[in-house]
Structure 1
Amino acid sequence: MMTRHTTAPVSADADASQRPPASGTVDPQDSLYRTLVQEVEDCAIFMLGLDGRVRTWNAGAQRIKGYAAADIIGQHFSRFYTPEALARGWPDYELRQALATGRFEDEGWRVRKDGTLFWANVVINLLRDPAGKPIGFAKLTRDLTLRRQEDERLRQSEERFRLLVESVKDYAIFMLDPDGRVASWNSGAIEIKGYQPHEIIGQHFSAFYRPEDNASGKPARELELATRFGRVEDEGWRVRKDGSMFWANVVITAVHDSGGTLRGFAKVTRDLSERKRLEELERSSQHVSEFLATLAHELRNPLAPLRNAVGVMQLEPTLSPTLSSCRDMIDRQTVQLSRLVDDLLDMGRITTGKIDLRVGPVNMFEVVAQSVEAVRPLADQRQQVIDIHLPPEPVIVEGDFVRLVQVLQNLLNNASKFSPAGGRIAIEVVGEARAIVLRVIDQGRGISAGALDSVFTLFAQEDRLLDPTHNGLGIGLTLCRSLVELHGGVITAESAGRGKGCTFSVRLPRARQRAGNGHASGARPAVTVSAGTLRVLVIDDNRDSADSLAMLIGMKGHEARAAYDGASGLAIARDFVPHLVLIDLAMPDVDGFGVLHGLRAQPSLDRTMTAAMTGFGQNQDRERSFSEGFDAHLVKPVDMALLDDLLISAKHRRISGDAKRSPS
């Protein structure tokens, strides 16, 4: 039961505003005051007697609480309270507090006439007569339901945001106070930095920096910059709780209140150690690629005179059987070493994404023929037979002829190397509706089941230590897989086990359309050129390379001269007037490009063909040679077939020039 109060009588000397006017008189001020209070609609303003019963009722009270004056005047104000508030005697408590202190304020749920609830701000002021005796209470009630709802939405939003921040594990998100001390700590911060909240909250954030960074004042400088510009971002090494370091991206944002006062800093840290590691690997890969290109250049320089010398001996008809055998052995090993250098360079290009395919229609019959021709010396040395099984109709794919030959040649070399002497190797080409399958089948050492998945891994070789005689660089099959995948194909290995041979299958998509009669783009056209002697000048600071190549060209029936530096080469060219000049690009005094420009400046050499010679054979090297004006780009050691093609081209140009100069 609510305690009921008896209204105290109003004393005769009470404030005029607190009592009705005398009969027959109207106080203008009192009337104006009553009208003002009565018309207020945004606030319920009414009076209670000391017993808590309603004595007056304004328009705002009717709008907010739903009662008309006739319905509520004389009723106890406790009917505006919820059952829970009534149960704990809250209305009586409010009046007691107002009576004791003169004023009471509260916020809570109140009840309208229709039973609905609203969130109210309530102020109860004690009223006294002029003598100071309590005579009742003035009660002001405001409906703050909308503000309450907005506050609740904001609270829920903040709670959701807090839960979101707390659940993020990939980012360390925490607050700093204005002095740089940690004020909050999420699960991502625990994960990345290693501190539990109780270990780090209240500590200065400089704990995350290296001693040298703290010595240079970096933490304080970052807060100063964030304060001045609103935000600062940095990447660098940071320190975990255990002392280990990680590469971090850090964003510090200054946080101000609505008055512009700095309240602290929001700090977001990401662990980018993995990205940093990949960047380092990429840089290392680039350095390795550059090193391999230089290494290949240095290896090709001594290979060039060896290959030229072999070419000379091949043209010498009077060699004894012993010398002929030694010549062929040197030729095979030079070819093998050149192939290893090429594979090493190609692997470097593939790993750095710098290999390009020159795609066109390719006849797989021609790929097989050229690959077998290249591996024939190794197979003959081991008395191995290569069986070729081809379909009756040509099989055309879209690809890079040279690269596809490289793939098949690698597979055949592999098969020969791991097959016994006197064994058989089979090549099969099978045409399907949308693809072709090329198989290389051997009867050799085979591959264990556990190693089938790893044979295409870079630098991996099964039993590398058990059989040193068969060791290599371990890049051939990796290179094959990469080149096949660049063609949109797939390569697989199958074996019944050790000692039971192996089958490598290459599946490539067919060409969308057949071109011409189906001949490969890589096949060389037959060329018939009338006899004639060419004047050929070789300019190379490597004397062995220059002399051996000049000797080889001379034995092919041409007049050849050698020069060992750019200046001498230009001097000889003025008098010799060569039809073809082979120029080494890397010479100490004047490089090959400078020599080329010197040659082009001589009118008598306007029809002379020029070819760059270098140990660098990447696409950008070739492109630069052609853009500078060279007619050809030869990679050392110069391939004999390419040299023959170049001599034929020079002869064509000479014949064409002679025809233009002859009288009509």
Structure 2
Amino acid sequence: MADERPDPDRDHGFLHGGGEMGARIRAFPWSGTALGDVPDWSPSWRTVVRLMLTTNHPVFLFLGPELVCLYNDAYARSLGPEKHPGMLGGRGRDWWPEIWDIIGPQIQYVMDGKGSTWHENALVPIDRHGRRDEVYWTYSYSPIDDATAANGIGGVLVLCTETTEQVLAERRVRAAELRWRQLFQQAPGFVCLLEGPRHVFRFANPGYHALIGAGDEILGKPVAEVLPWAVRQGFVDLLDGVLATGEPHIALDAEVELPDHLGGGIRRLDFVYQPIRDERGRIYGIFVIGSDVTSRHLAQEALQRRTEQLHLACDAADLGIHVYDPATGAIDWDARMHALWGLAPDAPVDYAGFVDAIEAADRPVMEAALARALDPAGDGHFAAEFRVRSQADGRLRWVQFTGKASFRDGVAERVVGTARDITEARLADVRRHEFLATLGHELRNPLAPIATSLYLIRHGSPEDAVVRQAHEVIDRQLRQMVRLLEDLLDVVRVTNGRIELRRERLRLDAVLQSALETAAPYVERGDHPLQLSAPATPLFVDADGVRLAQVFANLLINACKYSDRGSRIELVSEAGDGVVRVRVRDQGVGIPAEMQARVFEMFSQAEPSLHRAQGGLGIGLALARGLVEMHGGSIAVHSAGRGHGSEFVVTLPRAADPGAVAAAAAGSARCGATFAGWKILVVDDNVDAADSLAELLQVEGAVVETAHDGDTAITRAEAMRPDALLLDIGLPGRNGFEVAGELRRRAWAASLRIVALSGWGQEGDRRRSREAGVDVHLVKPVDYPELVRALLPPCRSGFSRDAVAGNRPGIGTASRLKPLLRGS
């Protein structure tokens, strides 16, 4: 049976290894060259190629009668891009035209079977890196024996070493010997030459003369005679050691005490004692070179003091200092950084340990910030806040990380910065948020009965004109309070990322119509001519209609507040390249140039509110920017300055036309007898709120009962079996969530419509309502039409929810603008 063991030569084993060139040789299409396929190569070629790939010495091969070029990594380092890697597999004559007149005859000598050649420090200039370099080589040309080839020679083996630096160095040494005295005379430091075991001065430059306070009279004299103080300080012992060992002595920042006649005091010197050898290698003297670094030493001491001050400042500010090497992952921390991670002050830290302690949900935040800092296209700044779990006690801390990356040749070398524990600040933010939410709740509760009572007055028949006027004033101020409160809470929600947009495909003109309805009282009160412009073709956006209308309403109201009575306001909508733009222009007070960069900041106003009767909290534009950016858009302001009006431009992504737009709701239907035959239970611990809402629902035909705590609510609901439950959340005893959950467990309540009426309106409150079985969560104060829409789910009855939506104060004025908004 034939031997089936693999043949390493047939498997090209001789081509294994060899680094870059080994890989290139293995991948090269040799069948297209004069050498033919690799399996057909002769044993001598295989041997010499194997030798080339396994040595670190520069080796070049000319193979076959065409002298095909092969070489290894060591040789490639002496080539430029003109030859490497393109020369591989090419003919020698084609790739070495600049020196073929030199090496061609030498190669032919070997190929003719005349033997080897040897060339030492020979000038063989080659083209590399865009120029012809004067290159010196020590090399040999040796035959590659091959019995099947002409003259028995299958190629030429080139063993070479580039000696350019050696040759040039020898030239430099010879040249230096001619001019060293002149150069040393001009040296900025001190230089001297000492000979023999007594260290006799043979040369000293002006710098050395200045150092020791003596001139040329020292030449020919030993150091011990010229500088007895140097003997006492051990410098002669150092010279003796250099002569004895032949090893140079290098001193950095050495302390030298000068004698009184040289001014006294301590000087700091950097110097080298370098042994000098003759042509037989014997040490015959010492070359001394150095410089006075006293000023540098003093600067370093000053730097050290500043560094200590920096550490003290970091300690006072509770800042930890970190240094990170992106290339190695090495991390250098001070004691405070170790403490933040719950580590001992001397515990080693690497990148993996740093990341492991970061809360998993926050790691992407840190990694994204670090990636931005390490990006050479950026500014190198690193800033992130994330949670870290202490390895000592398991405590979770919020840490604020800052830093700056330094770069060399486009690669980040290190990141240096600080970190501090901001846990308390974060907790303060949470407490502040909770305070504002509570504030909103406490302010909403008294507004609810006022709003309900006003609706009753509005639909009565008051005969007293003073009462009607008082109603108008109260109604207007109530809406102003509600708007300011909503804006304030919305800013908090946007800032904390607690607003969730409910996006849908909307016509832009419908959104603007809603904004006009809200702003209509301000337009009418200021007697502002309103100029509208819109394209004939409807524009669509994917947006939360309520929030987007809030943006445009704020811009329109601002335009009214900061414009003189009777001045024109323009509302323009237009299409751009993949976007829609809405422009709100006014002829008002304008915005100074220095203010335009800050106009969207919180509590920022272009003109102090004392100068304007309608001045607000300065949060409307901050809220508008936040909501627009949540929609993926942007908002900008343009103004020629004070007294020249302003233009606000909102840009949003444009959505495709869905092809079917629902007809606008028509009319403003009256809500009388809406709930005829309904049984409704109203639950609120505010007796006035419960009773006034009950009266309103009774006017609408409902049978209504009230309860003022959770337990009573459950008892009366069980007895009454109502169709709908209007439920406050903050109740004595069982809260509204518990009441809703308890009732949902009862079979008769499966169809019960539960609407929460609460001053608590955060997303967490809404989520708890859903979990408890509440159908709709409304935030006080609630307009009656909004309450009707909540109680009447789609297709519940023939009652038009769209009609109720249209029954809002001020809609008559805004309705006149609908045709213009549609572009007709």
Q: Same fold (TM over 0.5)?
A: yes
Amino acid at match of 1:252: P
> Which secondary structure does the structure 1 equivalent of 2:760 belong to?
coil
Q: 1:87 aligns with which of 176, 179, 195?
A: 195
Deviation at 1:370, TM superposition (A): 0.6
- What's the CA shift string for 1:495-528, capped at 9, x where partnerless? 33333322211111212x33352569x9999999
Amino acid at match of 1:392: A
Partner of 2:346: 253
> Which secondary structure does the structure 2 equivalent of 1:108 belong to?
coil
Amino acid at match of 1:323: V
Tell me the distance in 1 between the aligned counterparts of 2:667 and 2:307: 67
TM-score by length of 1: 0.59
Deviation at 1:406, TM superposition (A): 0.9
Quick check: 1:191 aligned with 2:335?
A: no
Tell me the distance in 2 between the aligned counterparts of 1:301 and 1:194: 50
- What's the CA shift string for 1:291-335, capped at 9, x where partnerless? 111101111101111111112122224554433332233222222
Amino acid at match of 2:604: A
Quick check: 1:451 aligned with 2:595?
A: yes
Quick check: 1:108 aligned with 2:216?
A: no
What CA RMSD, in Å, does the superposition of the two structures yield over aligned residues?
A: 4.8
Query: Could you tell me whether the CA contact under 8 Å between 1:580 and 1:650 is conserved in 2?
Result: no
Partner of 1:624: 768
Tell me the distance in 1 between the aligned counterparts of 2:569 and 2:614: 18
Quick check: 1:517 aligned with 2:610?
A: no
- What's the CA shift string for 1:530-561, capped at 9, x where partnerless? 98532111100011111121222222232222
Indicate how the Cα distance of structure 1 residues 105 and 497 shifts in structure 2: closer, same or farther if over 3 A, else same.
Answer: closer
Partner of 2:573: 429
Q: Larger C-alpha radius of gyration, 1 or 2?
A: 1
Tell me the distance in 2 between the aligned counterparts of 1:351 and 1:637: 23
Partner of 2:555: 411
> Which secondary structure does the structure 1 equivalent of 2:677 belong to?
coil
Quick check: 1:564 aligned with 2:708?
A: yes
Partner of 2:698: 554
Query: Could you tell me whether the CA contact under 8 Å between 1:532 and 1:651 is conserved in 2?
Result: no
Tell me the distance in 2 between the aligned counterparts of 1:452 and 1:209: 37
Tell me the distance in 2 between the aligned counterparts of 1:531 and 1:643: 12
Deviation at 1:641, TM superposition (A): 2.7
Indicate how the Cα distance of structure 1 residues 484 and 299 shifts in structure 2: closer, same or farther if over 3 A, else same.
Answer: same
Matches within 5 A, 1:349-364: 349-364=493-508
Deviation at 1:342, TM superposition (A): 1.1
> Which secondary structure does the structure 1 equivalent of 2:570 belong to?
strand
> Which secondary structure does the structure 2 equivalent of 1:252 belong to?
coil
Indicate how the Cα distance of structure 1 residues 112 and 309 shifts in structure 2: closer, same or farther if over 3 A, else same.
Answer: same
Indicate how the Cα distance of structure 1 residues 390 and 464 shifts in structure 2: closer, same or farther if over 3 A, else same.
Answer: same
Partner of 1:610: 754
Partner of 1:172: none
Amino acid at match of 1:560: V
Matches within 5 A, 1:222-621: 233-234=335-336, 252-253=345-346, 276=420, 280-464=424-608, 466-467=610-611, 469-511=613-655, 513-518=656-661, 532-621=676-765
Tell me the distance in 2 between the aligned counterparts of 1:277 and 1:475: 30
Query: Could you tell me whether the CA contact under 8 Å between 1:289 and 1:345 is conserved in 2?
Result: no
Query: Could you tell me whether the CA contact under 8 Å between 1:390 and 1:430 is conserved in 2?
Result: yes
> Which secondary structure does the structure 1 equivalent of 2:478 belong to?
helix
Deviation at 1:653, TM superposition (A): 8.2
Q: Give structure 2 stretches of 5+ with no counterpart.
A: 1-191, 200-242, 249-274, 284-296, 318-332, 349-400, 404-416, 800-824
Amino acid at match of 2:433: S
Indicate how the Cα distance of structure 1 residues 583 and 86 shifts in structure 2: closer, same or farther if over 3 A, else same.
Answer: closer
Query: Could you tell me whether the CA contact under 8 Å between 1:613 and 1:636 is conserved in 2?
Result: yes
Amino acid at match of 1:514: D
Query: Could you tell me whether the CA contact under 8 Å between 2:758 and 2:778 is conserved in 1?
Result: yes
- What's the CA shift string for 1:405-440, capped at 9, x where partnerless? 110111111112222333332211011121111011
Amino acid at match of 1:413: I
Query: Could you tell me whether the CA contact under 8 Å between 2:674 and 2:701 is conserved in 1?
Result: no
Tell me the distance in 2 between the aligned counterparts of 1:453 and 1:543: 49
> Which secondary structure does the structure 2 equivalent of 1:652 belong to?
coil
Q: Among the aligned pairs, what percent are the same residue?
A: 33
Equivalent residues, number: 454
Amino acid at match of 2:731: M
Q: Which has the higher contact order (CA 8 A, sep 6+)?
A: 1
Amino acid at match of 1:88: G
Tell me the distance in 2 between the aligned counterparts of 1:347 and 1:384: 28
- What's the CA shift string for 1:14-70, capped at 9, x where partnerless? xxxxxxxxxxxxxxxxxxxxxxxxxxxxxxxxxxxxxxxxxxxxxxxxxxxxxxxxx
> Which secondary structure does the structure 2 equivalent of 1:388 belong to?
strand
Tell me the distance in 2 between the aligned counterparts of 1:634 and 1:367: 21
TM-score by length of 2: 0.48
Deviation at 1:90, TM superposition (A): 8.2
Q: Give structure 1 stretches of 5+ with no counterpart.
A: 1-83, 92-103, 119-162, 170-184, 196-207, 211-230, 238-246, 256-269, 656-664
Indicate how the Cα distance of structure 1 residues 349 and 647 shifts in structure 2: closer, same or farther if over 3 A, else same.
Answer: closer
Indicate how the Cα distance of structure 1 residues 254 and 649 shifts in structure 2: closer, same or farther if over 3 A, else same.
Answer: closer
- What's the CA shift string for 1:574-628, capped at 9, x where partnerless? 2222111011000121100121123224333221111112112122221221122
Amino acid at match of 1:577: R
- What's the CA shift string for 1:76-109, capped at 9, x where partnerless? xxxxxxxx99931389xxxxxxxxxxxx974537
> Which secondary structure does the structure 1 equivalent of 2:538 belong to?
coil
Matches within 5 A, 1:156-235: 188-193=307-312, 233-234=335-336
Amino acid at match of 2:660: N
Indicate how the Cα distance of structure 1 residues 386 and 232 shifts in structure 2: closer, same or farther if over 3 A, else same.
Answer: closer
Deviation at 1:571, TM superposition (A): 2.1
Indicate how the Cα distance of structure 1 residues 389 and 395 shifts in structure 2: closer, same or farther if over 3 A, else same.
Answer: same
Query: Could you tell me whether the CA contact under 8 Å between 1:615 and 1:636 is conserved in 2?
Result: yes
> Which secondary structure does the structure 2 equivalent of 1:503 belong to?
strand
- What's the CA shift string for 1:165-222, capped at 9, x where partnerless? x89x9xxxxxxxxxxxxxxx58643433379xxxxxxxxxxxx799xxxxxxxxxxxx
Q: 1:649 aligns with which of 793, 798, 806?
A: 793
Indicate how the Cα distance of structure 1 residues 281 and 209 shifts in structure 2: closer, same or farther if over 3 A, else same.
Answer: closer
Deviation at 1:476, TM superposition (A): 0.6
Matches within 5 A, 1:123-162: none
Query: Could you tell me whether the CA contact under 8 Å between 1:249 and 1:271 is conserved in 2?
Result: no
Query: Could you tell me whether the CA contact under 8 Å between 1:535 and 1:559 is conserved in 2?
Result: yes
Indicate how the Cα distance of structure 1 residues 339 and 275 shifts in structure 2: closer, same or farther if over 3 A, else same.
Answer: farther
Tell me the distance in 2 between the aligned counterparts of 1:468 and 1:235: 52
Indicate how the Cα distance of structure 1 residues 276 and 606 shifts in structure 2: closer, same or farther if over 3 A, else same.
Answer: same
Indicate how the Cα distance of structure 1 residues 640 and 209 shifts in structure 2: closer, same or farther if over 3 A, else same.
Answer: closer
Indicate how the Cα distance of structure 1 residues 352 and 604 shifts in structure 2: closer, same or farther if over 3 A, else same.
Answer: closer
> Which secondary structure does the structure 1 equivalent of 2:725 belong to?
strand
Tell me the distance in 2 between the aligned counterparts of 1:554 and 1:323: 23
> Which secondary structure does the structure 1 equivalent of 2:796 belong to?
helix
Amino acid at match of 1:253: D
> Which secondary structure does the structure 2 equivalent of 1:470 belong to?
coil
Amino acid at match of 1:515: P
Deviation at 1:113, TM superposition (A): 12
